[in-house]
Amino acid sequence: MDDTRRAFLDDLLATPSPSGFETAAQRVWTDYVRGFADRVDTDAYGNAVAVHEGNPDAPTVAVTGHADEIGFIVRDVLDDGFLRIGRIGGADRTVSKGQHVTVHAEEPVQGVVGQTAIHLRDGGDDEYEDVAGQFVDVGAEDADEAREHVEIGDPVTFSSGVRDLVGDRIAARGVDNRAGAWAAAEGLRRAVETDVDATVYAVSTVQEEVGLQGARMVGVDLDDVDAFVAVDVTHATDNPDVDRERRGPIELGAGPVIGRGSANHPVLVDLARDAAEDADVDVQLQAAGTRTGTDADAFYTTRGGTPALNVSIPNRYMHTPVEVIDTDDLDAVADLLAAIGSAAGDAADAADPFAVDI
């Protein structure tokens, strides 16, 4: 990954974006895509759409990632100045205690999620409290002082940043799924570079972590799209504490993951696999017997059955402050998205390039 692309990735990952509060990250994303898109639009809730206008006779493909991350929200200020918090999305109660956090008030406020010292806990008292029973300490002496800095409804995120690991791997919070939003933007840029015939939309959606809400909005608004490709992260199974036998083999550094089953349209799956082979991109396969758990699940049903595909980035430690990915996988996803756009453009003569032959 070159320095410009890495700087864009770092900017996205460093910008807090809990569900419902994505504006800052969407500004980073739209500023980047304006450098090569023919048009960039946003809607009332902050979904962002960039487009490369192709041949009007060619299919239209949308490549997407969601901008939001999990987090917390201030739900009460206690008399002694501590903050009670609630979940935003699937926040994990087992990793929050003892962490540095930032309360995104009018001015950011630093705090910690309190954890009683091991010396003061009963030997058998190591159950993890639910998030609703945890608290944030911002250093305030009482409620009045706390309310000078924060108010109910302020979002809260972990304060961890991006760290380079060995080789091409990085660790950060919010990889799920600003890595996917990065890939959508980069896939569009690479499609523009090769001047694909297809019209290609890049989309950064909001509120995926709280019910795929942004995808439902975009699925209605983009009524000319012939196929959606939703990029998200998936669980890598190559670390010691994951039961690979139950989840299937997904490895960091082995390439993008193409879903099969459920929302994943079989013709679009085949097109993506052929495009990957033509572009010399190694891919992995993943079964989705019931649902993908991604924006693809909303896209394919929003307007009566638009073909959709879930392409994933292998990710360790999902929904923690230390998610780990291989940037080579991320680069390969962007190459794959551009190749899918090119392959869709080559199908311009087909009456319905994604129709199932029944």
**∠ CA 220-347-300, rounded to 5°:** 25
From 22, 69, 186, 208, the catalytic residue? 208
Return all residues near 251 (Cβ < 8 A) that are at least 6 apart: 236, 237, 238, 284, 314
Distance CA 26, CA 34 (A): 12
232 is in an annotated binding site: yes
Reduced to 3 states (helix: H, G, I; strand: E, B; else coil), residue 323 is strand
According to DSSP H, which parts of 59-166 are helical? 93-96, 143-147
Say if CB 150 and CB 103 are below 8 A apart: yes
Query: Strand 257-260 vs strand 284-287: parallel, antiparallel, or unpaired?
Result: parallel
What is residue 196's DSSP assignment?
-
- In this structure, the chain runs to a length of 358
Q: Biggest alpha carbon distance in the chain?
A: 72
Distance CA 185, CA 176 (A): 15
119 is in an annotated binding site: no
Distances (CA, A) of 141 to 78, 117, 205: 11, 20, 40
Distances (CA, A) of 297 to 29, 35, 73, 284, 351: 23, 30, 26, 20, 25
Residue 208 known to be catalytic: yes
66 is in an annotated binding site: yes
319 is in an annotated binding site: yes
For the four alpha carbons of 21, 27, 28 and 33, in that order, the dihedral sign comes to: positive
Report the Cα 153 to chain-centroid distance in Å. Answer: 23
What phi and psi values does residue 117 have, to the nearest 5 degrees? Answer: -60, 145
Edge-to-edge order in the sheet of strand 39-42: 39-42, 48-52, 199-205, 60-66, 227-235, 308-315, 257-260, 284-287
149 is in an annotated binding site: no
Q: Which residues are annotated as a binding site?
A: 66, 176, 209, 232, 319
Catalytic residue IDs = 208
Binding-site sequence positions for Zn(2+): 66, 176, 209, 232, 319
